Amino acid sequence: MKILVPVKRVIDYNVKPRVKADGTGVDLANVKMSMNPFDEIAVEEAIRLKEKGVATEIVAVSVGPAKAQETLRTALAMGADRAILVQTDDEVEPLAVAKILKAIAEVEQPGLVILGKQAIDDDSNQTGQMLAALMGCPQGTFASAVAVDGDAVTVTREVDGGLETVKLALPAIVTTDLRLNEPRYASLPNIMKAKSKPLATKSPADYGVDTAPRLKTLKVSEPPVRSAGIKVADVDALVAKLKELGIA
Amino acid sequence: MAKTLVWVEHDNTQVKDATLAAVTAASQLGEVHLLVAGSGCAAVAESAAKIAGVGKVHLADNATLKDALPENVAPLIVEFMGHHDAFVAPATSNGKNIAPRVAALLDVMQLSDVLSVEGPKTFTRPTYAGNAIATVESSDAKLVITVRGTAFAKAKTSGGSGTVEAVSGGADAGLSSFVGAEIAKNERPELTSAKIIVSGGRALKDADTFQQVIFPLADKLGAGVGASRAAVDAGYVPNDYQVGQTGKIVAPEVYIAVGISGAIQHLAGMKDSKTIIAINKDEDAPIFQVADIGLVADLFNAVPELTGKL
Ligand SMILES: Cc1cc2nc3c(=O)[nH]c(=O)nc-3n(C[C@H](O)[C@H](O)[C@H](O)COP(=O)(O)OP(=O)(O)OC[C@H]3O[C@@H](n4cnc5c(N)ncnc54)[C@H](O)[C@@H]3O)c2cc1C
Ligand SMILES: Nc1ncnc2c1ncn2[C@@H]1O[C@H](COP(=O)(O)O)[C@@H](O)[C@H]1O
């Protein structure tokens, strides 16, 4: 079984995003970029399924600028077998990403597509579900455990009240939650090896997908800032404050 | 006037609170119709019809809809969207699971986690863990949005005079089945509706310590209990306690962060709380930059003392 893993190049999760003064977006110039953390978890899960003998090949895909090659090389260094960069400098919305992924899935015929549950830049939490809809496949979102058994996959999902388990017919779409696994670091030899793994470059047009945005961003602003309040000296002072708030 | 369809979140017995914020958002777009999809859920539809401002309530009662499997629910919603202009769901785990599936089937780009309605097709929504608020206009023929529960007032659960209409549909797509759930029994107030929340972080050491330190304080205050991701990852409490970018978004009257550093991903889930109180032994912890009231102290002394003095 082949596994497709879409990975997005995003602002590093340790960087505090700054809104541009002109309100057109977030300043990404000279900002550290990395693989979306949930996508690292997706790559890791695919590798574990390969190590278990469930998967035979892992194909990483990224839709983004030429620099997204670095993200794909990271996936290859972790253990993906080959990569596809669908290169574009435009921002591509989840719906269009899902359409591109569907077209790739038609060629690659994966048994599983494992995506992150959300990209930490747009925070959309949509692409996996959209891909599942377009492919007519079942979806196991927010996964904290994945077990493939024959022609089905059992997915444990993190939901509002706790955990939920669903059984899905393959091919299926899985999106990862944080506790699915802890992604490995690529070793130096593997980073070197990744440089010679195949990486194909395509364009959205190769897949016949129109990436024109459906949503127009009119403005991006800073959220209302909270300012630091006061520090109290001891517990008694805190109790007094709680009384003022009417909760003690 | 635009017709909106709100997906009602419920457990086949009761309407969940998150629905009420979605109704408020929907009412700012136009006429509000509801969809109650489930199994043996007629009572849910009856109470949904009483929500203030609600017109029609469509009741799809079918065993295949019992567990809100998106493979079965989404096609049903798509049928209704033939005669509605907007689909609105609460941004709960179920809402987030179903809505994008609907959007893709309609060839529409979804707006996630909407914070405000600015115009018939214009909304604000958080990006970058809430560090950037985008004002976004849709150019699609139909709207699909999910609504952040803390951003809208809850519609009143009484006073409405909607009419319930039973509908058929919701065939089994044959793609998925529900195996089971481990839904934590929690006597404490639910996080997303609690007035007070006490949250614990990595500093709480282990599950027993978390229980012994955080729970008594929460019980004294009648508060819900939350946690940072670090505390959940370390197994102190189950996943449904997590507050943050990837956990629950909360905005209680009072949020008490105990032994939590205040990473941006955690702040994303609680910085709209009315009053934030932080107890941390590191006076430079980032949580103090957003806290209204801070106490620099060792929590293992301060929290039991506080609990004792309340
Ligand atoms: C993609 C992604 C998503 C994430 N989503 C979330 C999320 O939804 N929610 C979330 O919370 N995190 C999330 N995180 C993790 C986040 O980045 C932080 O790692 C996490 O919030 C840290 O938890 P903490 O504050 O409990 O632990 P730490 O950062 O380790 O802080 C512990 C704090 O306890 C204090 N302390 C220690 N001992 C004592 C004592 N005896 N008395 C008083 N204070 C003490 C320390 O001074 C410190 O400030 C996410 C991370 C990523 C990459
Ligand atoms: N441009 C992209 N390239 C590759 N994968 C993507 C891209 N955008 C989104 N994804 C995948 O979809 C997931 C969810 O993203 P989103 O729906 O944008 O929150 C991510 O974690 C990725 O796995």
ipTM value for the complex: 0.95
pLDDT at B169: 85
Which residues on adjacent β-strands are paired with residue A2? A57
**Domain count for chain A:** 1
Cα B31–B32–B38 angle (5° rounding)?
155
A235, part of any domain: no
- Residue A26 touches partner B, C-beta closer than 8 Å: yes
Rounded to the nearest angstrom, the distance between the alpha carbon of B58 and the centre of ligand 1 is 44
pLDDT at B186: 75
pLDDT at A248: 77
Q: pLDDT band at residue A244, thresholds of 50, 70 and 90?
A: very high
Q: pLDDT band at residue A47, thresholds of 50, 70 and 90?
A: very high
Residue tagged 């997005």 (tokens): A8
Rounded to the nearest angstrom, the distance between the alpha carbon of B229 and the centre of ligand 1 is 7
Q: Is B27 annotated as a binding residue?
A: no
A247, part of any domain: no
Q: Which residues of B touch A139 (CB under 8 A)?
A: 70-71, 97, 101, 176
Look at chain B and count its residues.
310
Q: Which residues of B touch A230 (CB under 8 A)?
A: 292-294
| Nearest ligand to the CA atom of A35 | 2
pLDDT at A201: 98
SS3 readout for chain A: CEEEEECCEEECCCCCCCECCCCCCECCCCCCEEECHHHHHHHHHHHHHHHCCCCCEEEEEEEECCCHHHHHHHHHHHCCCEEEEEECCCCCCHHHHHHHHHHHHHHHCCCEEEEECCCCCCCCCCHHHHHHHHHCCCEEEEEEEEEEECCEEEEEEEECCEEEEEEEECCEEEEECHHHCCCCCCCHHHHHHHCCCCEEEECHHHHCCCCCCCEEEEEEECCCCCCCCEEECCHHHHHHHHHHCCCC
Rounded to the nearest angstrom, the distance between the alpha carbon of B200 and the centre of ligand 1 is 9
The residue range of the domain holding A82 is 2-222
Lining residues, ligand 1, CB within 6 Å:
A 13, 37, 120; B 201-203, 228-231, 242-247, 259-261, 263, 265-266, 269, 280-282, 285, 298-300
pLDDT at B226: 98
- Residue B166 touches partner A, C-beta closer than 8 Å: no
A196, part of any domain: yes
Q: Does A162 sit within 8 Å of B176, measured CB to CB? A: no
Q: pLDDT band at residue B192, thresholds of 50, 70 and 90?
A: confident
- Residue A243 touches partner B, C-beta closer than 8 Å: no
Rounded to the nearest angstrom, the distance between the alpha carbon of B262 and the centre of ligand 1 is 6
* For chain A, percent of residues with pLDDT exceeding 70: 100
Task: Give the CATH number, domain containing residue A122.
Answer: 3.40.50.620
A63, part of any domain: yes
Closest CA of chain B from A49, distance in Å: 21
| Region B25-49 average pLDDT | 97
- Mean pLDDT over each residue of chain B, to the nearest integer: 96
- Mean pLDDT over each residue of chain A, to the nearest integer: 97
What would the pLDDT profile of B197-248 be if each residue is shown by its tens digit? 999 999 999 999 999 999 999 999 999 999 999 999 999 999 999 999 889 9
Residues B6 and B89 sit within 8 Å (Cβ to Cβ): yes
Domains in chain B, please, with CATH?
A: 2-167 (3.40.50.620), 191-309 (3.40.50.1220)
What would the pLDDT profile of B99-128 be if each residue is shown by its tens digit? 999 999 999 999 999 999 999 999 999 999
Q: Is B263 annotated as a binding residue?
A: yes
Reported pTM: 0.95
pLDDT at A247: 84
Which residue of B lies nearest to A27 if distances are taken between CA atoms? Answer: B132
Q: pLDDT band at residue A225, thresholds of 50, 70 and 90?
A: confident
| Nearest atom of ligand 2 to the alpha carbon of A176 | 21
A32, part of any domain: yes
- β-strand A152-159 against A33-35: which pairing, if any? unpaired
* For chain B, percent of residues with pLDDT exceeding 90: 95
Mutate to test the pocket of ligand 1, among B237, B242, B265 (most ligand atoms within 8 A of CB): B265
What would the pLDDT profile of B258-287 be if each residue is shown by its tens digit? 999 999 999 999 999 999 999 999 999 999
Q: Does B139 sit within 8 Å of A124, measured CB to CB? A: no
pLDDT at A79 over 80: yes
A89, part of any domain: yes
A199, part of any domain: yes
| Region A166-182 average pLDDT | 97
Which amino acid residue places its CA nearest to atom 41 of ligand 1?
B298
Which residue of A lies nearest to B192 if distances are taken between CA atoms? Answer: A160
pLDDT at B16: 95
pLDDT at B1 over 80: no
pLDDT at B185: 76
